[in-house]
Structure formats: C-alpha cells, structure tokens
Structure 1
Amino acid sequence: MDTPKLESRYSNETGSPHLLAITIAVMACIIMNVLDITIVNVALPHMEGSLHANSNQITWALTTYMLAMVIVTPLTGLLVERFGQRQLILWSVAGFLVCSVMSGQSHSLTEIVFWRFMQGALGASLVPVGQAILVEAYPREKRGVAMATLGMGTMLGPIVGPVLGGYLTQDLSWRWCFYVNIPVGLIAFTMLLLYIPSFGKSDKPRPIDWLGFVWMAIGLGALQMMLSLGDQDGWLSSRFIIILMLLAGMGILLFVLRSLNVSHPLVNLRLLKDRSLTLGSAGIGLFGLALYGTMVILPIYLQDYMGYEAQTAGLVMAPQGIGSWVSMWMAGRLLNHGANPRWMILAGVTLGATGTWLSLSYNLQISPAWIIWPGVIRGLGLGLVSIPLFTLAFATLSKEQTPEGSGIFNLMRNLGGSVGIAIISTIMTEEAQEAWNQMGGHINPYSAALPRYLRDAGLHQGTLAWQVLGQTLAQHAAMRGILDAFTFLFWSFMAVILIVLLMKNKA
C-alpha cells in the first residue's frame, strides 16, 4: 500500500478547499448511483410502450441493475488491490456515464436490460470506494462529519428519485431519467481526476479465485432474482422461484465454504470475525429493509388509493428525507463532540418506531399532514441510526481493511433493501387478499346491512352497485395490507435494538 503518499495528500484541515472538493466529488458519485435505483420506478409504465414490453418484462430494467450491483459490490476490495482506489472510481464513473447514455438511447427490451446490467456492474463500486475515500481522507476526530455527509447522499436517492423521475418523465421523457446522470457524473469525474491521489493498489494483489466468483455470482444472483420476482410469480407456487431458491442456497453455501478454505479468497469473509463489522452489517441490513420498505408502501398508498399524482406524492414523501438530512447533520456533530453512538442509535430507533407506529392509524380519508409528520419523525430516526451504526461497524477495522469491509457493509445494505421490498410487497399482496376474503364474505344479497348501505349511497342492487362495492372492498382490503406492512416495519426497527446492545461501544 502506498500509505505515506496517502497520509501526505490527506493531511488537510476539514475546511480546506482540497478536502471539500473530495467530499463533493464522492457525494456526486454516491447520489448518482443511489438515485438510479429509484428514479426509474415511476418511468416504467412509459417505458413499456417505447420498448415493446409488458409490465412484467419491463421490471427487468430494475432487476438487472440490482442484480449486477449485488454481484460486483463484494469484489470492491479485490478491485482496489489490482487497480487502486483512484483508477477504480474514475473508471466506474466513466463507465456508469456511458451506460446511462446507452440506456437512454435504448429502443428494445434487450438493449435496456443489457445496459442497465452494465450500469449496475460498473457503478457497484462507487458507494463502497467513495465511503473508503471519505473514511481515509478525514481525520478520525472529524469522521462523524464525513459519515453524515455520506449518509445524506445515500438517503437522497430513495427520497428524491420518485419525485425527480416523475417530473422528468412527465415534462420531458423517460430517457431523461438516465440523461440526468451526465452533468452530475461529469462534475464527479473532473473533481476526482484533480483531487484524488493514487493509492490502495497492491504490488502483489491476490490471485483471482474464479471458482469462488462463479459460486458467488450464482448464489447472490439467484437470491436477487428470487427476491425481485418472487411476489409477482407467487413464490413457492412457481417452479422457477423454487429453482432460484435452491441455486441461491447452494451457491452461497459453496461460496462461503470456498472463501473460508482458500488462502486468497475472492471476498475476505474472515473480516466477519470482527464482531463490530458483523453486527453493524446486520444492522445496516435492517436499516435498508426499513428505508426501502417504506419507499415501497408510500407511493402505492398515495397514488393508487389516495389519488395523488406522482409529483404530489413525491412532495408529500420528501419531508421524511428532510428529517433524515437534519438528523444526519446532527449525528455528525454529536459524534465529533464525543456523543455515545449506542445511545444515538437507540434514540433513532425510538423515533423511527414512533413514526411508523403513527402510520398504523392511516386510512383512506386522512389529510396530507398525517403523511408528512410521521414521515418527518421516521426520517429523524433513520438519520440518527445510519451514521452512528457505520461508525461503530468500522471502529475496529484498520485502514487497509476498510475498502473490503465497506464492500461487505454495502452488500448487506443492498440485500436488506431487496429483502425489504420483497417482504413488504408480499405482505401487502397476501394480507390484502386475505382481507378481501374475510370482508367479502359479509357482502351478499342476504345481508341485512347491504340494502341500508346501498340506500344511503344512492344505489340500487344491480351491476353498478356491485361494481361500486367491489371497488370499495378492494380499497379497504388493500388498506389492511398496507397497515400490516407498516406493522412489520415497526418490528424491524425494534430488532435493531438487539443488535446495538451486542455491539462494542467504541468509536
């Protein structure tokens, strides 16, 4: 490692233009990468017609992006050894931009799927390498500021993505959901080229364990596909999902065994002997579950059942992101002043759980204020959890171990998000169906309450009345599924408490 050069180039004070430029460059990379996970969601219906695809086929534009990220993210440490952090992040930004342009130029489903996969693969290292650069660039006593800045970038995508995607799609074209990366990427590339030193490249990099790579790609790839497609295919009622489940279990098991029994593993899973990293990675997985799970529930609730337009729904959801930014800024300052990370996380969990508990009173007639304020409280909690959790997770790792540890940490965040999306989608679907069956059983021509309800609604028994009843029943059944999903998120927040209590209180 070129450690002396690293220390000399990163010896600036926090307020120096040099360090500020590095922070802006890394933030731009992270925002660009995370934004592309969510910005395309609202554009999918518009993409179907242009790319001659149906609603199930077009979801591969999302699935392949996440699939590539999940496979490549754990390779971060190995790639840094071979190319160095500067070269890796520069090539990642350049490749991400090229793939963004080509995704916007796609005219068939095959093209968009291919370029989205390449975009995810080339962009997978942006967050962990950027994370490692900030950890190494800031002095230890100022690291809280660095992590708060980083967290604000990772929170921006899930919050701003649907809003920005809605405006771009409606006012310009779905293709601008990809073209918007160009100015951000060019700013990031220029600043990285000017200010990031060349370091991290090893004179004797580890040989590539190709067999380990095959097992990892099979295991994580099948797991991501299973989570992405499970709900729409009916989980265990689908032979394809069962095959994916078996492949995921076999691949991950063989990858773990291979990694623990070779001298130069593809991913150094032995780092998980560090209790702080292991528990921190589990905690960030639950954090990803809560964050992305919320981002699944709210757009469906607001647009499909409350009648909000995409832009309005995004604006109503945005205060949660503002709450997260405020609490992350506070978390950075508190950590710099010696605050106890464990107590900060517990306070964050309490706020997050409180905001989610308030969401359990949602119905189909509430005002926007009842969406905004629980969101703000939940956002304050998410911000207070993420930064101290990162600080505790990396407290006992050396600088040489940071890039690889960051790859594992971010893999768990991505997987947590995928698991959260899968679980929340399944809960809403299954519980809504169960509620439909339960409530629908009470609607029949022999019900004493039915004529009175129809009379009060100005309806008479007939085709129109049954259509109205069916729509009303579907809305209330879906609302039951949404409330059950919020209940699951509430207990997910509470589970973080158990992890925090087991972590070493050292930062």
Structure 2
Amino acid sequence: MAQEQSTSRLVITVAVMLAVVMQVLDLTIVNVALTYMRGSLQANSDQITWVLTAYMVANVIVLPLTGLLVERYGQRNIMLWSVVGFVISSALCGQSHSLTEIVLWRFLQGIFGASLAPVGQTIMLGAYPANKRGQAMAILGMGIMLGPILGPTLGGYLTDTLSWRWVFYVNIPFGILAFLLMQSVPDGGKSANPRPVDWTGFALMALGLGSLQGILSLGDQDDWFSSQTIIILTLITILGLLFFVWRSLSVKHPVVDLRLLKDRNLAIGSMGIGIFGLALFGTMVILPIMLETLMHYEAFTAGLAMAPQGIGAMLAMMLAGRLLGKGINPRDIVLVGIVIGAFGTYLTTLYDLNINIDWVIWPSFIRGIGFGLVTIPLFTLAFTTLKKSQQAEGSGIFNLMRTLGGSVGIAIVSTVMSQETQVGWNQMSKFINPFNPAFHQYLAAAGMTQNPTTWQVLGNIVLYNQANMRGTLDAFVLVFYGFLVMIPLILFLKKPAPEKGENTPPPVQE
C-alpha cells in the first residue's frame, strides 16, 4: 500500500511539474526572441511588446478565479483543460503570420496557463502527508524558479539554432506528456454546491487588473504619466479595483473571496511573494541587458552565465525541503535566505565595465541560494493557517501577487535603468568640454586629439557605456533594498503549528 502511494505521488509530481514548468517558462522564454519576431511579423519595437503584455493581462485576470473554477469543475479537470488549451494556443502562436494573430493566441495562452501553477500547488499539498509538504513545495518551487531562470537560455538557443517559432512549439511534447500523466491525478476540490458566479465582480476585476497590467507593460516606453493612454488606464485601474474590492466585501459569494486576506499568514505571505517577484524578475531583466549590451555576450552565452543562479536556487530548495521536514521554523529559513540573497545582490552593486566572468557567476550563485531558501518556506508559511477548502482560492491570490510583483519589478527596474542612465549621461557629459583641463589631460594620456572621431568615441562609447553601467548599478541597488524590505514582513508570520497525527500519512485522494 505504501509503495502504491509513493508511486502515485511520483506520477502526480511529474505531471504537475511538467505543466507548471511549461507555463512559467513562457513568462521569459519569449523575451529573447522578440527582435526576430518583430522582423518576421512587420512590427515596431513598441507593438511587439504586446506579445508579452497580452499574456500577462490574461494571467492576472484568470489567476484570482482559481478557487471558483476548482469548486465548479475539480482540480483534475481544470489541469487537463488548461494543458490542452495551453498546447493548442502555443501551436497557434508558433504558426502566426501577423501581429494581430500572435497577440490573440498569446492572450488565449495566458488564459489557459493561469491556473496551472495554483491548482498544481493545491494538488501537491493534498498528495503529500503533512510532514512531507515542505519537500513537495520544494519540488514545485524548483519548477516555478526554473522557468524564469532557464527561459532566456533556452529561448536564445532555440531562436539561434531553429527559429523564434520554436519557443512556442517546444511546449507541445511537454504538454502531451503532462496530459497523459495527469490522468492519475485525483479529482479533488469539486464542490456539490459551488458558489454562483458574480459576473459584475468579475468584470470589475478584469477591468482593474487588465488596466494595471497595461500600465506596467507600457509605462516605461510611453514615458509614464506624460502619456494620455497611461493616465486613462490609471483612472480605470483605480476605479475598477476600488469597486471590485467594495463588491467583493459586500456580496455573499464574491468572485474572489478577499476575506481570506484576514488570515495574517496569507496576507503577509502574499505581500512577501510580491516583493520577491520584484527581486527575481527585476534581476532577470537587468542581467541579460548588462551582459549583452555592455559586456557584449551573445544571447546564449549570457543565458549560460546566468545559469549558476538556477543551480544555487535548486540546491537551496532541496536543502529547504529537508530542513522543513525536520521541523525547522520556516520563518528562520526565509530570513537566512533574505540575508544571503541581499548579500549576493550587494556584490552586483560593485560591478564595473571591467569585471570578469567570475563576478557574474558567483554573485548569481549566492543570490540563487537566497531565492531558493525564501521560496519554499514562504509557500509553506502562507498556507499553514488556511483550511484545506480555502487552499485553492488562497493559492490563486498568492500566485496573483507573485505575477503582479514580477510585473511591477520589471516596470520599476526598466524605468530606473533608463532614467538613471539619462541622469548619468547628463552629469558626466558636462566634464567633456574643451575648456576643462582634466579633459585635455585625458586626451593626451589616451593619445587622442580633438577631432570628430574623438567626439564620436567619447559620446557613443565612453559616455554610453558608463551611463548605462550607472543605470544598471542603480537598478541592482533597488533589488538589494527589495530584499531588506521583506525582513520586517517575515517577522510577523506565524510559525506553523504541528498537525495532529502528522506522522500518519493521509491517503493521496482527498
């Protein structure tokens, strides 16, 4: 009997991992292919970003609906439909021949992919006994972390060796295998009396969250509030979310039960994972730009240079799972992870244009260890005080905050990099003028004379590189402070109480 349960858990784990990795990978794998897609689809640099925006908008709209969908259709059905829809929309994305086509299919891909991570998380929690749930979350966390880390490397390789269409086609074999294995997943979570759908609340949520994602995706390129579009989207976001919150707290059966946020651990854990998303996805934006633009690495080489972060995260997650299984307070593990992640990020604030590859590898590895030690215990803490019937909806809220945190992180980091690069350019350029004695000394030492070529070298190479490096360092400083902000939040989390009979494994099926 024990062996059958173990085999069943293994099949469930592999099925869930395949589905989750496939979905999370699509958050970043497309980024490196955008330049190639722009040429193939006859789109400009602003238009092609809708390939990313459409996916994220669909994700944030559907994620909070996870609990409601599970109540009505059950965990296994939601996973099966999501995998099938995700694979079909991935294939349609790959065969797209216009910008309109691919944006439509990406939106559909985001709709079907949104529920995979939260429902998979709920299935894993139910499949493992209480004393092994830390290990289960460690396994799932590796999948969630591997996506954004491996995405740029795999996307660069597929684009360079095959074509940009293969960043979508690669989902097909994994999706088929996940679908076949998913047949063994127990169909739990379905309610005999599901809540009615509050369509008014859903419309308000979709309007507010969709507009918010639009602001985050388009803000930097449209210069934020100097754009009339951003101002209109901001007003829609504020009004939509305010009325959505009012509606959710005033009706008996809201589309998303925000009353769950009365649970301190879920509320603080969701805030923590949002800030963590800023640190993780913000780093994934900064490093490729720095390595490819300033260090002149190829896309695939840059991905390999970032791989140690993933290795560190996987090792730390396995360690975190073991520590949780031995009864170590998850809050202590998270705090250690924050300190290690902050230290790894602090090292990146010391970068300059002359660093060697070691200065990329080791801080990334250290930061990855921090990420790994934060992720799993934070998952555990967020759900430790929720009832089992609340876990699916709580997981939707938790994963929504992770996704929004990533979107906010990308938007803030991109803005800081561009604005501080301009500030650096303005401040340094004033020293390059023919009336500055130090300028003449620099030219003499470099063996240069005042001519048009000299001004081009100084402007396009020296100032450009130095100003961009300054913007990059300021973005790393922001990520460093993001780690520090998490510390007071984590101190307010409750330690999970030992469950009765946790040494007796419950059956796999709910």
TM over 0.5: yes
Confirm whether residue 261 of structure 1 aligns to residue 250 of structure 2.
yes
| Match of residue 507 from structure 2 | none
| Match of residue 43 from structure 1 | 33
Change (3 A) 1:14 1:410: farther
| 8 A contact 1:14–1:138 mirrored in 2 | no
| 8 A contact 1:80–1:201 mirrored in 2 | yes
Confirm whether residue 330 of structure 1 aligns to residue 319 of structure 2.
yes
| Match of residue 348 from structure 1 | 337
| 8 A contact 2:277–2:402 mirrored in 1 | yes
Q: Distance in 2 between matches of 1:239 and 1:269?
A: 32
User: What residue identity is the alignment partner of 1:231?
Assistant: D
Percent of aligned pairs sharing the same letter: 62
Q: Distance in 2 between matches of 1:274 and 1:77?
A: 16
What are the Cα deviations for residues 403-450 of structure 1, in whole angstroms up to 9, with x where unaligned? 000000000000000000011001101111111111111111211122
Q: Distance in 1 between matches of 2:7 and 2:320?
A: 23
Confirm whether residue 103 of structure 1 aligns to residue 100 of structure 2.
no
Q: CA deviation at 1:50?
A: 1.0
Extract unaligned runs of 5+ from structure 2. Answer: 498-510
Q: CA deviation at 1:246?
A: 1.0
Q: CA deviation at 1:474?
A: 1.2
| Match of residue 230 from structure 1 | 219
Q: Distance in 1 between matches of 2:439 and 2:430?
A: 12
Q: Distance in 2 between matches of 1:360 and 1:288?
A: 19
Q: CA deviation at 1:454?
A: 2.3
Q: CA deviation at 1:460?
A: 2.0
Extract unaligned runs of 5+ from structure 1. Answer: 1-10
Q: Distance in 2 between matches of 1:330 and 1:126?
A: 25
Q: Aligned to 2:27, what secondary structure does the other structure show?
A: helix
User: What residue identity is the alignment partner of 1:20?
Assistant: L
User: What residue identity is the alignment partner of 1:494?
Assistant: L
Residue range with higher mean Cα deviation, 454-463 or 494-503: 454-463
Equivalent runs, 1:263-412 vs 2, <5 Å? 263-412=252-401
| Match of residue 47 from structure 2 | 57
Q: Distance in 2 between matches of 1:182 and 1:12?
A: 34
Q: CA deviation at 1:49?
A: 1.3
Alpha-carbon RMSD: 1.1
| 8 A contact 2:431–2:439 mirrored in 1 | no
Q: CA deviation at 1:234?
A: 0.3
Residue range with higher mean Cα deviation, 32-41 or 440-449: 440-449
Q: CA deviation at 1:199?
A: 2.3
User: What residue identity is the alignment partner of 1:300?
Assistant: I
| Match of residue 496 from structure 1 | 486
What are the Cα deviations for residues 40-67 of structure 1, in whole angstroms up to 9, with x where unaligned? 0000000011111111111100010011
| 8 A contact 1:219–1:247 mirrored in 2 | yes
Q: CA deviation at 1:14?
A: 9.4
| Match of residue 447 from structure 1 | 436
| Match of residue 184 from structure 1 | 174
Q: CA deviation at 1:81?
A: 1.0
| Match of residue 425 from structure 1 | 414
Please give the TM-score of this superposition, normalised by the length of structure 1: 0.96
What are the Cα deviations for residues 68-90 of structure 1, in whole angstroms up to 9, with x where unaligned? 00000000001111111111110
Change (3 A) 1:220 1:12: farther
Q: CA deviation at 1:451?
A: 2.4
| 8 A contact 1:13–1:19 mirrored in 2 | no
| Match of residue 124 from structure 2 | 134
Q: Distance in 2 between matches of 1:120 and 1:329?
A: 29
What are the Cα deviations for residues 352-407 of structure 1, in whole angstroms up to 9, with x where unaligned? 00001111110111001001101111100010011111111100111110100000
| Match of residue 22 from structure 1 | 12
Q: Aligned to 1:232, what secondary structure does the other structure show?
A: coil
Please give the TM-score of this superposition, normalised by the length of structure 2: 0.96
Q: CA deviation at 1:455?
A: 2.9
1:123 pairs, out of 99, 113, 116, with 113
